[in-house]
Amino acid sequence: MTSESEGHLVSDHRVIPNYIYRRIGMAFVAIAFLVGAVYAGYAYYALPSIVAVQDEQLLTSIIDQLEGAVGKEVFSIVPNAPSTITVPPPPVVSVDELRRDLMAARDDLPALEYTEAPSLYAMPVGDVTYLEYLSTVTPEIQTPLYQMHVELRNLTKQFNQQYPQVTVASRIGEPELALFTELANDAAGALSVYPSLNVVEARFVSEVLALQFPSEAAFFRDFANNFINEGVMYGHYTITEAMSASALADTYLMAARQNPETAVVFQSLE
């Protein structure tokens, strides 16, 4: 049996005991584990955010091109949207109540599979993502869908200007809790969450896909709801604020379906 005093020769003929080698090996294993944990943490939190930003940038670039072609302030599908669609003022909630509700919502974070839904625009539509789906539909459907994205964004931004509202996390003095990229600014240039454009687009995307693929409607709505709920858990907006944003998307879609010029689009989706 080899004793603890036995070991290995080094260049000057001294002997390093085996137990030192074992300790060195354990140290390397610990370092490797630590490096792996740090990378895993980066992949878990940073990579999904990077994917979300990339997807958002891609859709934004497409919408910017469309706005350049048709005019940024043109509401061709729901022409009277700016004057007829309304959003109630955000509710007044105390900081203590906001903090209490946010901490209660964050209790669900351990069960949240954040990496499964890094981006709304990566929502699976069969074997492709929503962005890829948009690129493959016929122009008769594609152009109106992009235009509806444009109109909903401009409509939402008008309300962001009317109702400046920063994230719940910022309102309670802990802005670092908010991990999402908000999509719109208020009049002062701060990121605005009332109504949250993230929520508006999530609702819009899920309802359009549910219309075209009714057998998968529950999946699309669940995906969107999970995405919206993440925003609540990470302190972007309250549940009540999210409900107002969802109602905005529903009201817009209802008006769009009543437009004879775009009714054929919805009939094609069904």
d(CA 152, CA 87): 13
Cα three-residue angle 185-232-126, rounded to 5 degrees = 90
Which domains, from first to last, does the chain contain? 53-269 (1.20.144)
pTM (two decimals): 0.72
d(CA 148, CA 152): 6
Q: Give the highest mean pLDDT range of 39-53, 122-136, 195-209.
A: 195-209
28 has pLDDT over 50: no
Q: Name the band, by pLDDT with cuts 50, 70 and 90, for residue 65.
A: low
Give the CA count within 13 Å in the CB-facing half-sphere of 181.
16
Mean pLDDT value of segment 73-83: 85
Identify which has the larger pLDDT, 111 or 265: 265
Contact predicate 4/20, CB 8 Å: no
Closest CA relative to residue 118, chosen from 45, 48, 47, 223: 48
Contact predicate 257/263, CB 8 Å: yes
How many CB atoms sit inside 10 A of residue 266's CB? 18
Distances (CA, A) of 54 to 58, 107, 118: 6, 29, 11
The residue length of the chain stands at 270
What phi and psi, each to the nearest 5 degrees, are found at residue 15? Answer: -110, 130
d(CA 252, CA 204): 9
Beta bridge partners of 125: 128
Beta bridge partners of 124: 129
Identify which has the larger pLDDT, 142 or 119: 142
H/E stretch holding 68: helix 18-70
d(CA 166, CA 179): 13
CA dihedral sign, ordered 98, 99, 104, 107: positive
Beta bridge partners of 8: 16
Q: Give the highest mean pLDDT range of 124-128, 137-141, 248-252.
A: 248-252
Identify which has the larger pLDDT, 194 or 16: 194
Mean pLDDT value of segment 244-253: 96
What local confidence, expressed as pLDDT, does residue 144 receive?
A: 86
Q: Name the band, by pLDDT with cuts 50, 70 and 90, for residue 184.
A: low
11 has pLDDT over 60: no
**What is residue 124's three-state secondary structure?**
strand
124-125 and 15-17 strand pairing: unpaired
Structure tokens at 75: 């509401």
Find the range with the poorest average confidence among 70-79, 135-144, 154-163, 233-242: 70-79
H/E stretch holding 9: strand 7-9
Query: Average per-residue pLDDT in the chain?
Result: 75
d(CA 250, CA 210): 13
15 has pLDDT over 90: no
Q: CB under 8 Å to 237, separation ≥6 — which residues? A: 165, 167, 168, 193, 194, 196, 199, 231, 245
Identify which has the larger pLDDT, 19 or 91: 91
